[in-house]
Structure 1
């Protein structure tokens, strides 16, 4: 069973996270954290889009908001 976990370690350390080793040795803080900022911007844009979609469906009045909408309630 230990070989299974060593295989998972090898996959992540040597293959999937290998491109991130480039950012570890940069002298610039902004350069090293650029990938984090990109993910934060993508997440923020996705959240704004999702909130906009929720607002559209909330204003259209399509959803059944009654308390007895489910049989177990």
Structure 2
């Protein structure tokens, strides 16, 4: 078995199995815009929630003065 066969197997699995839901949505693209873009909306919502969580954690660490704010990356600074 060669490396080329391994990568072609990964390609085949990805295109034939993992992309089945996306291929189904692609066929609905002209009929229903909201359904065709549902994956994008879901990923945007996940990113927005993750961003809010990240900002909350940064505020928590900033309020507790746990962050090291000394600049020691370059001695000439």
Q: TM-score, normalised by structure 2?
A: 0.79
TM superposition shift of 1:2: 2.2
Larger helix proportion of the pair: 1
Following TM superposition, where does structure 1 have runs of at least 4 consecutive aligned residues deviating by more than 6 angstroms? none
Aligned length: 71
Q: TM-score, normalised by structure 1?
A: 0.82
Gaps of 5+ in 1: none
Gaps of 5+ in 2: none
Q: 1: distance between equivalents of 2:22 and 2:70?
A: 49
